[in-house]
Chain A
């Protein structure tokens, strides 16, 4: 694209974005009106079948009045809180020493489920200082006239700890350990590259995912040796989505989200049943992969990680029925496995229970069977944050008092030992965690916490005992936190604080004005930290290097003509040993062609210097290179359909293979 065309395009884009922000949208398209309309559509199965689009601006006055009443009702329910004498604020009644309760019998299990279910039946549940649960339902004022019941919401709200705080905090944890493995679509074992591609099934007319195994050595003779379908496209009632693959030694695990739709008797579609499926393959001979196990776990995928020889999967399922039907199901190699209270496979979160259950399994890839460690944590669901490391699972929850807005955080740890997952510690404090915890390979938990005005750092043992603190080291404004190796990069206001957790009992903080943080960050072998931010509105990408001697270096990469292909942190390629790193880019030429490439940089001299642009595809069609691997002086770039190999020093293509 020519410069003048780009300028015009940018001018128009700027005007468009400004207008889109300020444009007056008709009332009929307001969020409330549309949401109500959708609710009516979802209730009436014939609404979408008539073939005519109902124009919302023509909704009758009666319907509008009904919407108004509904909105008014919701508004009143959310905003009018009548104080009721004798009921203590649940937030004040937290039993700090009993955050989690073990369940040993079926009757205990039933009682807990009843308690959770009753908390959502129009009454109020309030945990008093003595731990007793009280319920009441009453009618008052306008709501009585409307015939609705008033629900006083005394229980502290559970907030999603992943959500940002009022202080605009965002955070990312970066996995850097060799033993850990977060899901990705590309893995390289040195001799083979494993990548997930989207394929088209001509028979069903639907797409499916497949894992491709490509022999990548020698790079001038790359060859696809296997293609394994990992999702099923044969049924329109089942939608599967491959979330990524894990490769460890002779095992490959494909993680698949499955949504199963059932039809009701009258032909209208019913609710979805969500589950997470781990498909295990033996790849000891990568050229002849063999499926060994399939483990289907009910619930929406929350977390998955391969670490310490175990594959942890956490799913969340809402509790909507009593008894056995509320238990999450686990199916291993076609056989359904029942969780048992007498084996300690149920526990319950005590404060501000959610109407949900968090289901955690820890499978050993080479031995996936019904006896794998598993745990159902009742009263805790999709709003919790899960992490795993060193045979320990950590769960973090944030509570907000509905009355005062006061925030409180709870952390539970569970140890995986002797075929079971059992509670090992709890910790609670006033305030919030800025990001999930950063867990070291030694099992220490690093936390950056906020009390709303300042940030503090602390370290807990795996049993959740406090070992070190650095209080009030920075203001809690515009904060980003990234854990990397033994350090954390905390950006607050205009400074970056590099916290060093090497000594858990003494946390040190170094300051720099160079921004180092965000999700696109890597640690090099010499301890220096590299991060990528942008592009900004002018198309500039900032590459920052924070050296181990606490000095910084910045390189501005003009991406106005060479756009970044992806902001995904996994798209960065980094050879920690040589200090070479790269980013995927899209290059536009004057004829309007778009080329997919990787831009490489060298940090070995202590500064950031460009090495070159390595073109993956000169005129790509939809599939840009979004992953790359550096190995033995060779750069491999990977797209959905192609792998290219380059000599980094020679800046030339050695080989390509499509699959």
Chain B
């Protein structure tokens, strides 16, 4: 797979849209899923992926290491998610703990996501979601996440720990609530 991706990246760097399309076909579900989780809104996720793909194809010549394509692509996607989220909540800063458009069209209730991911979107701030989902994609270490989000590594670690603690509590409460409803 690695050599195939490298070959496709090189073709895409030569302007081959079909090659880029094949690369996109490998990651598009993961990209959309990630965008949904980070933006918490299906429409924003759709726009973020669309924007990221166009930007990536336009800038792929600047990618020096084809084997790093996935990480590079998700960096672009991450930036697009941030922009879409800001657009969605124009008057609020990304770092604020804000409502996530749960009651708007395209909110998480319209996304067919598992209980764990819904809990993550509901309980975590956008920044915490970025940290958590960059981490679980398995591509980034704490230091690399710190570079992407432009914050100290220690801050990433503490925010990650706090996010996971919140998440654990939320998941357990959801599970307990579900069991109670079944009992009743």
Contacts and interface: CB of A to CB of B under 8 A. Distances in A.
B136 A13 contact: yes
How many residues of B sit at the interface, in one of the four size bands?
Answer: 35 or more
Contacts of B137: 16
Contact of B141 (A22, A272, A274, A594): A594
B29 A23 contact: yes
Interface in A214-265: 239, 241, 259, 261
A38 B64 contact: no
Interface string B29-55: 110111011000011001101110111
Interface stretch (B19-27, B96-104, B176-184): B19-27
Interface in B34-84: 34, 36-37, 42-43, 46-47, 49-51, 53-55, 57-58, 61-62, 64-65
A234 to B, nearest CB: 15
A489 B12 CA distance: 36
Contacts of B61: 239, 259, 261, 269, 272
B117 interface: yes
A53 B51 contact: yes
A39 interface: yes
Contacts of B15: 42, 269, 271-272
B93 interface: no
Interface in A13-32: 13, 15-16, 18-26, 28-29, 31-32
Contact of B25 (A20, A31, A162): A31
A79 interface: no
B57 A20 contact: no
B160 A592 contact: yes
Interface string A586-623: 10000110100000000000000000000000001110
Contact of A241 (B28, B65, B161): B65
A361 B15 CA distance: 28
Contacts of A13: 136, 138
Nearest to B3: A162
Contacts of B167: 8, 12
A510 B25 CA distance: 41
Contacts, number: 165
Interface string A37-75: 111011000001000011111000000000000000000
A9 B54 contact: no
A207 interface: yes
Contact of A48 (B28, B58, B168): B58
A207 B117 CA distance: 38
A22 B117 CA distance: 13
A4 interface: yes
Contacts of B42: 26
How many residues of A sit at the interface, in one of the four size bands?
Answer: 35 or more
A541 to B, nearest CB: 16
B74 to A, nearest CB: 12
Given A11-B116, A31-B24, A16 B33 contact: yes
A8 B57 contact: no
A367 to B, nearest CB: 31
B144 interface: yes
A44 B120 CA distance: 41
A272 B29 contact: no
A56 B144 CA distance: 31
Given A16-B33, A272-B13, A621 B143 contact: yes
A8 B117 CA distance: 12
B136 A16 contact: yes
A34 interface: yes
A5 interface: yes
A48 B54 contact: yes
Contacts of B136: 9, 12-13, 16
Nearest to B30: A20
B46 to A, nearest CB: 5
A496 B46 CA distance: 46
B71 to A, nearest CB: 12
Contacts of B144: 622
Contacts of A505: none
A5 B14 CA distance: 44
A29 B64 contact: no
Nearest to A237: B61
Contact of A35 (B18, B43, B117): B18
Contact of B164 (A8, A32, A37, A55): A8
Given A11-B116, A13-B138, A42 B17 contact: yes
Contacts of A18: 114
B24 A34 contact: yes
A42 B14 CA distance: 11
B21 A35 contact: yes
A284 to B, nearest CB: 32
Contact of A207 (B13, B64, B147, B164): B64
B141 to A, nearest CB: 6
Most chain B CB within 10 A, of A5, A41, A54, is at: A5
Contacts of B113: 19, 23
Contact of A15 (B25, B62, B114, B158): B114
Contacts of A12: 116-117, 120, 132, 136, 167
A307 interface: no
B17 A591 contact: no
B54 A54 contact: yes
B75 to A, nearest CB: 14
B21 A34 contact: yes
Given A591-B157, A592-B157, A8 B168 contact: yes
A29 B14 contact: no
Contacts of B160: 1, 5, 592
Given A300-B10, A622-B143, A55 B54 contact: no
Given A42-B15, A239-B61, A622-B143, A37 B33 contact: no
Given A42-B57, A241-B65, A269-B15, 10 more contacts: A1-B160, A16-B116, A29-B32, A34-B21, A35-B20, A41-B54, A41-B58, A55-B47, A594-B142, A622-B147
10 contacts: A1-B161, A4-B164, A9-B135, A12-B132, A15-B114, A23-B29, A35-B18, A57-B50, A622-B143, A622-B147
The list of the 9 closest CB pairs from A to B, nearest first, reads A35-B21, A592-B157, A20-B33, A15-B116, A38-B17, A13-B136, A15-B114, A39-B17, A53-B51
Interface of B: 3-4, 7, 10, 13-15, 17-18, 20-21, 24-25, 28-30, 32-34, 36-37, 42-43, 46-47, 49-51, 53-55, 57-58, 61-62, 64-65, 112-117, 120, 132-133, 135-138, 141-144, 147, 153, 157-158, 160-161, 164-165, 167-168, 171
